[in-house]
Amino acid sequence: MTRHTGRSWARVLTARSDRRPRSRRPEDPRGTGGWRGKFERRSPRTPSGRRGQAWLSMRTVAGQVFILQLVIVLLLVGASVVSLLLVSRHDTTEEARNRCLAVATSFANSPGIAPALDARDPTAILQPRAEAVREATDVDFVVVINTKGIRLTHPNPERIGEHFIGTIGPSLKGQTITETVPGTLGPSVRAVTPVKDSIGRVVGLVSAGITIEKVNSLATREVPILLSAAAASLVLATGGTALVSGRLRRQTHGLDPIEMTRMYDHHDAVLHVVKEGVLIVDGERRLVLANDEAIRLLGLPPQPEGRAVTELGLDPVMAGMLASGRVASDEVLATGERLLVVNNRPTDRNGGPPGCVATLRDSTELRVLTGRAEVAQKQLKLLYDASTEIGTTLDVTRTAEELARVAVPRFADFATVDLAEAVLRGEEPAGLTSVSEVHRTAVVGIRDDHPFYELGRDIAFRSSTPQAWTLESGRGTAVPDLRLDTGWRAQDPEATGRVLAYGVHSLVTAPLRARGVLLGMVNFWRAEKPEPFEDEDVSLAEELANHAAVCIDNARRYTREHTMAETLQRSLLPQVLPDQNALDVAYRYLPAEAGVGGDWFDVIPLPGARVALVVGDVVGHGLLAAATMGRLRTAVHNFSSLDLPPDEILSLLDDLVTRIDHDEGIAGGGAMITGATCLYAIYDPVTRLCSMARAGHPPPALVHTDGSVEFLDLPASTPLGLGGLPFETAELRLPEASHLVLYTDGLIEDRNREIDAGLDLLREALSHPDRDPEETCSAVLEALLPDRPSDDIALIVARTRVLHPDRIAEWEVPAHPSEVSHVRADVARQLVDWSLEEMAYTTELILSELITNAIRYALGPIRVRLLRDRTLICEVSDFSSTSPHLRYAAATDEGGRGLFLVAQFTERWGTRYTADGKVIWAEQSLP
């Protein structure tokens, strides 16, 4: 017998909706199947006259459809008429109400109405106007009423002077009302509105009215249209019935019930004889038909028709296909001990009933081929997952763990990864051999109580082990049975005995090689899986290892670059804070998780016991940012030695960044600095003045002694290198023991937190003045440090100190050489008070030279100041901007040796300029 495909059976059996009993008795006129229900109609050979009677008969579908459509049309027409009348009545009343209200209100508020009511004869004035308005607006009446309710106008002059019939009480109180009242001409609507004078007093009323019949025309216009639509609907219903009847005749192909029964019997015989399973499922996912072959192949229970496909005990895949109606073409499904080739097609493609038809062929001989295909599919899926799950980070250890996790439990029960120690440090291994030590980097298994070497252990494999062979040859190898491998057991008899006792029975090892360099190896172990590793598993293990090796090598190179950048950055940052007495300073620096950046800070002692605090941020991460940060920090140290104000320091830095960008642009290919911010502050412990300027940097915070926190409003300027606005210096006097807090934006800004929220958290963390700077730094980081910092964080907390007055001595010196001796005597006495008598001679010599130069070359008064801090500081200030220079005097020169002597007797000396002159200073070490 010719074999039918699923598509051919779908065409043959599309119209069937149920299966009749197996007896297939031709004399049963109806049976239980859907064939007779669908084809129980007259043959199209019926004469035309009788066919017309069949259309109108209640026993025919056409007649029932006709009667039903006629009833529906009549109901719709009746409902439409009633709805139209109700809506028209409501709209008519509203239209009459609005028209009356508009006429009455407009007339009452028209000019001259209120004065006319106070006239001697208001009727003579208002009657003509009211009639003109009535005729123009097509209302029935416009009546003006005085406050006593007497009509002053009316369309019928005889009713003028009579009382107005209606409600006027609310209108006398200033309200406008409308009401519907019965009238002699039918229901009417009237509106009454007050007439008010210039001060808002009601002086009369205006009423306008119209009968509802006068505006009632909507229903009259639309009823004929509705009736015409009803007639058209009846005509369409009759035509539709004829079309339905014709389609029924075409679908039955003119067959009478006997012919249809005969055709059904033939099809039923074919279905149960053919050696191909056939299943028909209806739209409710119930089994309509299953032939003998389908029952045998699927092991269906007796009489399965009428039951849901999910209740037949089918394989889940098969049941899911039939329940969903999914289209399948020659799809191989495993059902029990058989492999079935399944075709499934819907039955409603060409207007048939909803459902599907499935055909089944037994293809058990394809089991072996299918098994291999499944194995290959699983391997491809494993490799695909490895490509997405390995290498998600640039961390060597994390990547090794990902390699182990992707293989467990799909490929192995346990996986261990051993890498060269140099790889973990980011270095390139010199070359692994069979005697090289490797570091156990990852261990992953189906259970945590594994018997293998622990993490972190350095392992040297014996030359007889498969691991040593892999390191030596660079190729993978499989050990199907570890119990028989004496070379592997010789590695460590005690440890290998524990592995075997645990149940581990098979091993495959593969090298981790990238760019021709061996980085380590991976070992896959099986314990619960009974299948041993075979040679064909080696290729899969090597594929996994090759992909992971590339990711590990990328992570290694990133680790090397990150380590280099971090080492460079830490070498460029302050290693220890300099000694000074002006501030009690604590700091924190934390690099970003993504890599080191360009955040930096500095504490720079300045002459006069002053200290400069600097915080900066170079945009970006990596070596370029770290190198740029080092250049800026070096420049700040050099510029600070000039003892310039903060705004001039920032201007010099801005020029430097601009010049660096210009040089990089000329060189070509260099990465330019896309932004750098800086905050520079100078604190003077003598005057408690703090001078600050910033370039695009977050403002500093000041913690007062009472615990209040203030973010200082410094003049804002653009970041360094962008040019534009000049920098400005702000000065304020800081209280003793207050805390000045400088930070970078990485502290307050995060991907999941706005800057304002970060400032609020910082304010709350700082509002504890009893903490010292170290405790404050720890508290701030605990409150604001994110779990995974995306940017560097630099933080400085400085508690202010004050140089006490008993450590300061000042004199004002008249500009005359004879005053030098007096100053020297005063200085000697002050040094005796400070117990520094042994420094008196040197100090007098230094001050004599500096004061003499000031008297000789400077203008204005001269001031001398001694500061006893970590050193003895001598300062001479004047109003001249000329700075002395050290030079070598010739043997014949009478002068020029004073500054040379000053330089010899002091640790350091120099000049700093002020707003009105200069200060020459010199420092001496205390004994």
Q: Which tens digit of pLDDT belongs to each residue from 633-662?
A: 899 999 998 888 999 999 999 988 888 877
Q: Are 572 and 616 in contact (CB under 8 A)?
A: no
Using 50, 70 and 90 to split pLDDT, how confident is the model at 665? Answer: low
Q: Given CA atoms 564, 569, 570, 571 in this order, what sign does their dihedral have?
A: positive
Taking 80 as the threshold, does the pLDDT of residue 11 lie above it? no
Q: State the Cα torsion 379-385-387-391 to the nearest 10°.
A: -130
- Spatial strand order of the sheet with 202-211 comes to 141-145, 202-211, 188-196, 177-181
Burial of 308 (0-12, 13-18, 19+ CB in 10 A): middle
Which DSSP category does 118 fall into? Answer: T
Burial tier of 186 (Cβ tally within 10 Å: 0-12, 13-18, 19+): exposed
Q: How far apart are CA 398 and CA 383, in angstroms?
A: 18
> 570-597 burial string, b = 16+ CB within 10 Å, else e?
eebbeeeeeebebbbbbbbbbbbeebbb
500 pLDDT more than 80: yes
pLDDT, tens digit, for every residue of 567-623? 777 777 887 888 899 999 999 988 877 666 788 899 999 998 999 999 999 887 767
At 67, the pLDDT band (50, 70, 90 cuts) reads: low
C-beta neighbour count of 598 within 10 angstroms = 28
**Mean pLDDT, residues 790-819 taken together:** 89
Q: Cβ(506)–Cβ(542) under 8 Å?
A: no
Q: Pick the residue with more confidence: 216 or 433?
A: 433
Q: Tell me, rounded to whole angstroms, the distance of Cα 27 from its chain centroid.
A: 73
The label of the residue with tokens 């996994």 reads 544
Of 66 and 34, the structure prediction assigns the larger pLDDT to 66
Reported as type and span, the H/E element at residue 616 is strand 610-621
Mean pLDDT of the region 526-531: 90
- In angstroms, rounded to a whole number, what is the distance separating the alpha carbons of residues 316 and 518? 47
Candidate ranges 47-56, 201-210, 267-276, 676-685; pick with highest mean pLDDT: 676-685
| Angle (CA) 628 650 865, round 5° | 125
Residues 223-250, buried b or exposed e (16+ Cβ, 10 A)?
eeebeeebeebeeebeeebeebbeebbe
How remote is the C-alpha of 361 from its chain's centroid? 52
With bands split at pLDDT 50, 70 and 90, how would you rate the model's confidence at 21? very low
Among the ranges 63-72, 236-245, 268-277, 352-361, which has the highest mean pLDDT value?
A: 352-361
Residue type, 245: S
When pLDDT is averaged across residues 770-784 and rounded to a whole number, the result is 93
State the distance between the two ends of the chain, measured CA to CA, in whole angstroms: 122
Pick the closest to residue 347 from 754, 749, 677, 15 (CA basis): 15
- Give the least confident one: 283-292, 512-521, 590-599, 759-768: 590-599
How far apart (Å, rounded) are the C-alpha atoms in residues 206 and 194? 6
pLDDT of residue 883 exceeding 90: no
Dump pLDDT digits (tens) for 405-419.
Answer: 999 988 999 999 999
pLDDT band at 35 (very low <50, low <70, confident <90, very high): very low
Cβ-contact 259, 239 below 8 angstroms: no
What local confidence, expressed as pLDDT, does residue 681 receive?
97
Is a pLDDT exceeding 90 seen at residue 130? no
Most confident of 183-187, 512-516, 737-741: 737-741
- What is the structure's pLDDT at 365? 62
Tell me, what's the pLDDT at 26?
Answer: 39
- Say whether pLDDT at 737 is over 90: yes
Mean pLDDT in residue range 376-398: 86
Q: Which of 121-130, 328-337, 373-382 has the highest mean pLDDT?
A: 121-130
**Nearest alpha carbon to residue 843 among 860, 827, 863:** 827
**How far apart (Å, rounded) are the C-alpha atoms in residues 566 and 833?**
51
CA torsion sign for 714, 717, 721, 724 is negative
Q: Which residue has the higher pLDDT, 672 or 727?
A: 727
CA distances in angstroms from 640 to 614, 678, 843, 848, 920, listed in the order given? 10, 14, 26, 28, 16
Q: Each residue of 537-566: pLDDT tens digit?
A: 899 999 999 999 999 999 888 888 777 777
Q: What are φ and ψ of residue 912, in 5° steps? A: -130, 145
